[in-house]
Amino acid sequence: MIDQTQILWTPAGQNLPSLGTKALVDVSDGDTPNIRMPIRMLSIDTPEVTARSVSGAEKVNDKFAQLALWIKDGSAPITKKLGEHLLPKLESGNAGSLQFTQGKDASAFYKQIIEKRLTRPNSTKKRKLFVERSRRAAKNRHPL
């Protein structure tokens, strides 16, 4: 594994500091570093898989049940309307497990779509992936 690095230049002229999971994977030549970093897809929102396991999701069920109690007794710092929306979901007793399962399903579906879209017809050779920043991100000067 190669240590994290600082990207000093991008075509947009922005600096991308080496933070979190951004890391130099390898270098293919003198002007092409390969960087590994998470990106977010525009207009796609799926449940997060933060629990990491079924047992982790069960612990989240307990946390969501506690949150439901806080909403009911008025100690949660949220609006009444949001509380009314969340309470039935949190009181189900399986909100964490449901989030975990739906997140895993979304991940599997996305991997399947990527495999299909990057596979060339009648070939084993894969297409290259192209990533483009949104105009909104460029306008607001958000880093990649």
Cα 53 from chain centre: 16
Residue 143 within a domain = no
**Do 96 and 28 have their domain in common?**
no
**Do 67 and 99 have their domain in common?**
yes
**What is the per-residue pLDDT across 62-84, written as a single tens digit (0 to 9) for each?**
999 999 999 999 999 999 999 99
pLDDT of residue 33: 76
Structural domains of the chain, count: 2
**Do 32 and 69 have their domain in common?**
no
Structure tokens at 24: 């130099």
Instruction: Write out the residue range of the structural domain in which residue 1 sits.
Output: 1-39
pLDDT of residue 140: 55
Work out whether the CA dihedral 28, 29, 35, 41 comes out positive or negative: negative
